[in-house]
A and B are shown apart, each in its own frame.
Chain A
Amino acid sequence: AQTVTQSQPEMSVQEAETVTLSCTYDTSESDYYLFWYKQPPSRQMILVIRQEAYKQQNATENRFSVNFQKAAKSFSLKISDSQLGDAAMYFCAYRSEGTGTASKLTFGTGTRLQVTL
């Protein structure tokens, strides 16, 4: 079974600075998807960014980018120019490419990000 590990329970960053959240995963598959979800106090899970494992190029979405190291099974999220609205829980997640039971998302335990003035 796949596992996702987020080793940083909490992180803090100053407004306008850059922060990197870590995520590692364990899988024997070669094709899969990786995600970062944001959960603000409103509880809604919001997709921040996704990465297909077959793509070597790191995904970017505005101020959010990832460092995907397939061999190391590492998938970190970099937030540039941090804003107060970025404060939230961030979850790393894994999903197999297949269907059926493989379609489920497996989540890490989350990293709480604080943004200070």
Chain B
Amino acid sequence: DAGVIQSPRHEVTEMGQEVTLRCKPISGHNSLFWYRQTMMRGLELLIYFNNNVPIDDSGMPEDRFSAKMPNASFSTLKIQPSEPRDSAVYFCASSPGPLHEKLFFGSGTQLSVL
């Protein structure tokens, strides 16, 4: 299995532009998580899906952030408009199910907003 696949690995954009981050979870995994990592705040959960349905989006910073999971094999995290304070590493992780304690992480997307 290729593991959790995220794209792009690096993204540089200008303030005000739309950014879309992509994630392909491990096949058969029913739970998907988006995390953000910054030096100041560490790893924060942004949103969690189970069976393609958002269960907890309380970590989404504000309305500029949105996430979708149109099917079991694909999820996106969109920022519109982007701001310099959104610069961070964004991780996607998947799990076999909500009762499964183990998360499998992708390699992350390094986002820089200038």
Contact = CB atoms under 8 A, between A and B. Distances in A.
Interface stretch (A19-27, A39-47, A60-68): A39-47
Interface string A93-108: 0010001110111111
A42 B89 CA distance: 12
Contact of A100 (B42, B98, B105, B106): B98
Contacts of B18: none
Interface in B11-54: 31, 33, 42-43, 45, 48, 50
Contacts of B110: 43
Given A45-B93, A91-B43, A110-B42, A103 B107 contact: no
Contacts of A108: 42
B98 A101 contact: no
Nearest to A95: B101
Contacts of A42: 107
B48 to A, nearest CB: 6
Interface in B79-114: 89, 91, 93, 95, 98-99, 101-103, 105-108, 110
B96 to A, nearest CB: 12
A101 B58 contact: yes
Given A100-B56, A104-B33, A47 B107 contact: no
Contacts of A110: 42
Contacts of A44: 105-108
Interface of B: 31, 33, 42-43, 45, 48, 50, 55-56, 58, 89, 91, 93, 95, 98-99, 101-103, 105-108, 110
